[in-house]
Amino acid sequence: MNKPLRRVSVFCLILIAALMLRANWVQVVKADDYADNKNNRRAAYEKYSHPRGDFLVEGKPITSSVKTDDRQYEYLRKYEFGPMYAPITGYISPYIGSNLLESIEDDILSGKDSRLFVRKVLDTVTNKGTRGGNVALTINAKAQEAAFNGLDGKTGAAVAIDPDTGKVLAMASTPSYDPNVLAQNDRNAVAKAYDGLTLDTSKTRKTPDTNFDPKKPMDNRAIRYTYAPGSTFKLVTAAAALSSGDFKPDTVPNVPLVGGKLFYPNSTQFLPDSHPTECAGATLQKALELSCNTVFASVGQQLSQEKVKAQADAFGFNNFGKGTNQNPLDIPSRVAPSVFPAGLDQGQLMRSSIGQDSVASTPMQMAMVVAGIVNNGKVMKPYLVDELRAQNLSVLEKTQPQVANQAITPEVAQMLQDMMKGVVENGTGKSARIPGVTVGGKTGTAQRGVKNSEPPYAWFVSYAKGADGKKVAVAVVVEDSDAERNEVSGSSLAAPIAKAMMEAVVKK
């Protein structure tokens, strides 16, 4: 071969090698980047080219896939009980994406998960067509229905947890929305619906002490909103007191009353009680039953803010993802951190010990507090997804219960259970009684707004034990309702919802 031909041949080989290198770079190295590019509509079309896997509640699907005449979006998501489960499942839309479990479990639901590869091949060979896997939830259908129906017409949230495992048995948030309006293949209709859900033109007011709009239906208040827990936090203060060894349920705490009033340090302002006569000289047990502010504010001062905060932290407060034992709570949807502040003066400590001041908690966190109490002091990590299943319903992955922390000793837990039982039998929680079932609870009416100018939050947290040993822990908060201000209380608004949820779980 002469020299010119040899040069041309070498040049051609270099070009071929460069083309091969480029092809492999595009197909292998950059494949995922191109596939995930937001401007690549083929990936979106492929996702909607076959039925999506379903969410299962007690083995029954609460979602489905509907065949359409659209060549780009052949199958669209349908939500069978849209508003009831929207705070759990979230939505998936051809135009605005997805959120919550629809986003987190997308690989399984869409069929992209590598564990589904063999099943996809078999389905292709047998001409069954591609289909995504399924996500089995931990939800108890009757408890979820009780929570959603109980909150109807109100703004608020409710959570139920299995204390032994951490399974989330119910999680409702109202007002809710119908995710079906976002699952359409009509771009204009989806945009209009989304704007109607997120751009709240009907807002009548915004609470001055919070940064959220009470009307937003797409927000999951059970895990994303934090509220002043009010008197329900007295359970944490009581836990710290009993754990210190200096207090028992029958201990009469030292409350420095002056003229029957407990004054803030160096102030003419005093802390009010709804039962001042009965709270004077009350035992710790009686103080919880009557929800005595003066007693628990004084107990918090005697313990010190370090001990009260340490107890709150043990139940899961102040979990910001810092340090080896501090991991953000995912269930697997992210839960906003609940807060018990540091650096308090004595007046702030008094108010914080009764769940006011800067204390803020999600309903999920307060349900965890009760679950820990009824589980002998052991707080389990809450979770929503029980199993991931293949198209043929074989189990690919099962969530194993995890201990989050031993918040209190079994002895302290038993004392708190008995004290909470007294609240329902003799105190402010009588509306939560269930015949034939052991019920313990704590009411809370948390102040809200500048100088308590807004209607208070109505709380109720509780546990129930059935005759067969089945247990449940519940937290309910009502943010707004049609009740008059003087009728707002945890006993009247939140306790009946909690009772219905507990009955759904423990009564046959």
Active site annotation includes 231: yes
Q: Are 388 and 481 in contact (CB under 8 A)?
A: no
What is the number of helices (H) and of strands (E) in the chain?
Answer: 19, 18
Catalytic residue among 110, 231, 243, 353: 231
| DSSP element (H, E) containing 497 | helix 495-506
How does DSSP assign 260-281, residue by residue?
TBEEPTTSS-EE--SSHHHHTT
Give the amino acid at 150. G
Q: Are 376 and 465 in contact (CB under 8 A)?
A: no
Q: Is the peptide bond before 332 cis (omega within 30 degrees of 0)?
A: yes
Q: Give the closest residue to 171 by CA, choosing from 319, 360, 363.
A: 363
Q: Are 413 and 130 in contact (CB under 8 A)?
A: no
What is the Cβ-side half-sphere exposure of residue 200, based on CA atoms within 13 angstroms?
14
> CA 442 → CA 306, 416, 426, distances in Å?
24, 11, 12
Give the amino acid at 171. M
How does DSSP assign 369-416, residue by residue?
HHHHHHTTTEEEPPBSEEEEE-TT--EEEEPPP-EEEE-S-HHHHHHH
> CA 74 → CA 48, 56, 149, 251, 361, distances in Å?
6, 23, 34, 68, 43
How far apart, in whole angstroms, are the C-alpha atoms of residue 446 and residue 121?
Answer: 57
Structure tokens at 260: 């029957």
Buried b or exposed e, range 276-294, using 16+ CB within 10 angstroms: eeebeebbbbbbbbbbbbb
Active site residues: 231
